[in-house]
Copies of this chain bind each other. A is one copy, B any other.
Amino acid sequence: MTAWVPLGFPDIRPGADLGATVLEVLARNDLRPQPGDVLVLAQKVVSKAEGAVVQLAEVTPTARAEQLAREAEKDSRLCQVILAESRQILRIRPGLIIAEHRLGFICANAGVDFSNVGLGTDWVTLLPRDPDQSASRLRERIAQAHGVEVAVIINDTHGRPWREGAVGVAIGIAGLEPIYSYIGQEDRYGYVLHSSIESVADELAAAASLLQGQAAEGTPLVVIRGARFTPGGGRTRLLREPERDMFR
């Protein structure tokens, strides 16, 4: 398995044609997509291209946002944006809000983020409106330009219970079954596996995250070749149903 980080990814502004940008960057790096490649693109550039950005100066906080801001010791306008992006707030402590995003992801600040926005100090990015669709559009664009079927993952880094540090996870998926089930397969000694399922999409997202960086690297695109995955799938399906989640 090889993962490349094409260089020279340009600054992305709202309204940018992300598909064209990815094609240009691949071409400039002499990287011709092959069938079975996985393209992993950082959420931040997708959000920016799609205009999923908000200027806090334009936001008027509600009383609920003011209350959240006091509990979390954060800007009340930021809290208003977080509330608007959330189904529910799960945990609060000074400096930290863990929310269930309207798409089901459970992460800090419902994915609302100040870093690498590039529009001014009071601008934040939101998660893309429909990251599976964002992934799907990029996948179609590659198919049109190169005539090959690749998989596309939009990734973000999320913190986790129990373990320190954030890791890359898949928040949008196209052309790949996110889950690989070993259930019913025999192990090396004939024992039939009955519970092993693996989140291939999240593992690919984590592998890409190793190479993307989160500061000034300017490398939001990773191309992974030689990974084993099942084509197809499409929608994320990586979210545990609340009733099956013992840690809510």
Binding site for B on A (CB under 8 A): 1-3, 11, 91, 93, 95, 98, 106, 108, 114-118, 121, 157, 160-169, 178-180, 182, 185-189, 191, 193, 195-200, 202-204, 206-207, 209-211, 213-218, 227-228, 237-240, 245-248
Contacts and interface: CB of A to CB of B under 8 A. Distances in A.
Specify the main secondary structure of chain A where it touches its partner. loop
A121 B198 CA distance: 24
Contact of A239 (B162, B187, B240): B162
A164 B210 contact: no
A1 B166 contact: no
B196 A115 contact: yes
A186 B118 CA distance: 12
Residue from A98, A108, A163 whose CB has the most chain B CB atoms within 10 Å: A163
Top 5 A-B pairs, shortest CB-CB distance: A165-B199, A161-B247, A207-B207, A206-B206, A185-B215
